[in-house]
Structure 1
Amino acid sequence: MDELRPPTLLALPSYLAGHVARIGRRELAGALETHGLRLPHFAVLAGLSDFGPLAQHALADRLGLNRSHLVGYLDELERRDLVGRERDPDDRRRQRVALTGSGKALTRELKAEAGRSQDVLLSALSAKERETLTSLLRRVVAADDRARGGAGI
């Protein structure tokens, strides 16, 4: 027996991608735990960092998060003074979310830690192979987003 895992599974890209995702999540989650955060918290911070202030519903949609779950993540981040919520000036019925100064600083730090966690995850690959893998995975995600008419994490 040359392989630890069944060859039938190792021939399935979906199995491989899922297993690699678990490894990557483990690495990234460990880095986030040192800050008392989880992956959805980082997704919120990264989304606001990348897109700027957003209406709460738009943030949930861009991240592929359930809107009611997002409220809980925002409550925690707001308690820690990492995000702030205010009425959306374009529609006073809605909340707009933005990073605070502390949130911006922590997000910069977390992005660096996320990069290091990905270096650990992909240490078996060359830089060119990492670029190729990322490009191929982005194509699959983009195709799914188009098919579903939206985004998701």
Structure 2
Amino acid sequence: MDDADASPGPNRPPSLLALPTYLASHVARIGHDVLIAAVGEHGLRLPHFATLTALADFGPLPQHVLADRLGFNRSHLVGYLDAVEERGLVHRTRDPGDRRRQLVALTEEGERLHAELRRVAERAQEEFLCDLTAPERETLTALLRRVLVAHDRRLR
């Protein structure tokens, strides 16, 4: 019998196993837990990691743009930024183009820690997806990205 056809551990209802949303939510929880544990070893939570990653990918951003790109509530982002700023990982300055806005950027320490966290996250992904081949991982990632991008387009 192929591993993909093997009965799941707790003998889940077949009708639920036929629903992609059911499968996606449970698989997401597994991956989420693995990533939370990996990032938590550095005293951070996933929103902190996401914030550092967005700044590493996009460079300095106005605070409201950062919240929108991450899909975070703007008031929640303030708390996440307070925590990582306290640790010296980001700094906020007034936007010279609009003094009402705050620009957020990584510090050197933030860049260093983010690079380490990226390696930690990649190892967590390896652990999470260890039962899939590299091409299967690429396919899974591409399909999930496609669903997310389509959803984001509908929200515009």
Q: Residue 66 of structure 2 is aligned with which of 59, 71, 77?
A: 59
Distance 1:7 1:91 in 2: 56
- Matching residue's letter, 1:8: S
Following the alignment from structure 1 to structure 2, what is the Cα–Cα distance between the partners of residues 75 and 120? 31
| Matching residue's letter, 1:88 | D
Which ranges of structure 1 fall in alignment gaps of 5 or more residues? none
1:22 counterpart residue number: 29
- Counterpart of 1:139, as a letter, is R
TM-score normalised by L of structure 1: 0.95
Counterpart for residue 134 of structure 1: 141
Consecutive unaligned residues of structure 2, counting only runs of 5 or more, are: 1-6
Q: Does 1:9 align with 2:16?
A: yes
SS at match of 1:5: coil
Residue 84 of structure 2, aligned match among 73, 77, 81: 77
Post-superposition offset of 1:38: 0.5
- Letter of the 2:134 partner, please give it: A
User: Moved runs in structure 1, 4+ residues, more than 2 A?
Assistant: none
Query: What is the match of residue 56 of structure 2?
Result: 49
Larger radius of gyration: 2
After superposition, give the CA deviation of every residue in 1:18-51 in whole Å (9 maximum; x if it has no partner): 1111001100000111111000000000000000
Question: What displacement does 1:90 show?
Answer: 1.4
The total of aligned residue pairs comes to 148
More RCO (CA 8 Å, sep 6+): 1
Range that drifts further, 4-13 or 62-71: 4-13
Taking structure 2 as the reference length, the TM-score comes to: 0.93
The root-mean-square deviation of aligned C-alpha atoms, in Å, is: 0.7
SS in structure 2 at match of 1:59: helix
Q: Percent identity?
A: 64
Q: Residue type of the partner of 1:23?
A: I
